[in-house]
């Protein structure tokens, strides 16, 4: 029902994704049957109708994503992370002083669970909504009306940092994604994300109908003035 409310009301192409970090694998889910190239690729896999969990080693292919998720990397992978970050700094993609400010989980990673929002057998810690600018304008306005988008934060690289940011702040966050995320998830040029903390989802949904109705009325008003 929750998934249908978001998907139908906003005409979303992709199912919103429920995600949670856990100490043990949740009942009713199986481990992912193949490693994907990045943690964000698991979002896309879940949005396509799959539900599953991952362990730390399932995130070794993207060391930056592993860092944001709190994965403890073996020595070789830790060196790879340092090398990638060094390259990003050399390319002036990142500043050296930015690295320490990238949102990341401080708790050690054990298990991450993923599922389409309407088919999740666990309580989501965050909900990842993918859509175009108009669709996510409406999501963010509903979240703001619910009091969980007060900062209006918009993040960029790395896209996966929006997850720990939403968890730690307890607030919704928008993200333009990053070039890696756009490759691994095939994110369209007109698409971005809004991540909602799980506790804020009911309030956001409660405000969504009002926001949709208000936008319909206001659009008519503005179109008449634009004539």
95 — alpha (psi -120 to 50), left (phi > 0) or beta?
A: beta
Helix orientation angle between 133-145 and 2-10, rounded to the nearest 10 degrees:
130
pLDDT of residue 40 exceeding 90: yes
Can you give the pLDDT at residue 154?
Answer: 80
Non-local CB neighbours of 114 within 8 Å, separated by 6+ positions: 17, 18, 19, 42, 43, 45, 46, 50, 51, 52, 53, 54
Q: List pLDDT tens digits, range 79-137.
A: 999 999 999 999 998 898 888 889 999 999 999 999 999 899 999 999 999 999 999 99
Contact between 199 and 167 under an 8 Å Cβ cutoff? The reply is no
| Percent of all residues in the chain with a pLDDT value above 90, rounded to a whole number | 85
pLDDT category at 227 given cuts 50, 70, 90 is: confident
> What's the pTM value of the predicted model, to 2 decimals?
0.92
Can you give the pLDDT at residue 3?
Answer: 59
Q: List pLDDT tens digits, range 187-215.
A: 999 999 999 999 999 999 999 999 999 99
Nearest to 111 by CA among 47, 45, 53, 51: 53
Non-local CB neighbours of 223 within 8 Å, separated by 6+ positions: none
Please state the domain extents for the chain: 13-226
Helix orientation angle between 201-226 and 2-10, rounded to the nearest 10 degrees:
10
């Amino acid at each position: 029902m929750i998934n249908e409310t978001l998907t139908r009301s906003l005409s979303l192409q992709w199912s919103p994704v429920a995600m949670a970090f856990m100490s043990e694998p949740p009942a009713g889910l199986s481990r992912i049957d193949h490693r994907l190239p990045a943690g964000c690729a698991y979002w896309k896999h879940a949005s396509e109708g799959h539900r599953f969990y991952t362990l730390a080693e399932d995130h070794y292919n993207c060391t930056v994503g592993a860092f944001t998720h709190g994965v403890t990397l073996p020595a070789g992978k830790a060196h790879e992370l340092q090398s990638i970050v060094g390259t990003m700094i050399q390319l002036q993609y990142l500043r050296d002083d930015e690295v320490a400010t990238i949102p990341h989980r401080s708790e050690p990673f054990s298990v991450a669970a993923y599922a389409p929002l309407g088919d999740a057998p666990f309580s989501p810690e965050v909900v990842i909504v993918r859509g175009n600018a108009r669709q996510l304008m409406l999501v963010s306005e509903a979240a703001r009306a619910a009091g969980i988008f007060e900062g209006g934060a918009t993040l960029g690289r790395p896209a996966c940092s929006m997850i720990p940011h939403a968890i730690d702040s307890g607030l919704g966050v928008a993200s333009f994604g990053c070039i890696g995320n756009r490759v691994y998830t095939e994110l369209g040029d007109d698409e971005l994300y809004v991540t909602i903390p799980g506790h804020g989802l009911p309030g956001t949904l409660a405000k969504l109908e009002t926001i949709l109705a208000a936008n319909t009325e206001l659009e008519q008003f503005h179109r008449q003035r634009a004539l």
